[in-house]
Amino acid sequence: MDETTNYRAQSVRIFLALMVLTAVTVAVSYVNLGALNLPVALLIACTKAGLVLVYFMHLKGNLRLLWIVAGSGFLFLAILITLTLSDYFTRQAVG
């Protein structure tokens, strides 16, 4: 029972942290930070995604192979974004 209670308490703490970060995201959206709006929103979103990955997908305390698989997904995403942006920024304006 103690392990189940700890897991539930931890899940509630993570859920509350995610709700606080969501509230922070909404609050920041009403503040004009100029060019920092997007980086701040992305930082908060990445923090929330990290919490979900580590706790709800049970990467914390698990095999390194699962970390490698999860990391390879992010590496592939980074490659796709890099290739897309390099194509976008090197195109000439038409017309």
pLDDT recorded at residue 1:
57
CA distance 23 to 21: 5
pLDDT single digits (tens) 3-59: 777 888 888 999 999 999 999 999 999 999 998 998 899 899 989 988 988 888 777
- pTM exceeds cut of 0.95: no
Amino acid identity at 18: L
The residue count of the chain comes to: 95
pLDDT at 70 over 70: yes
Are 26 and 56 spatial neighbours (Cβ–Cβ below 8 Å)? Answer: no
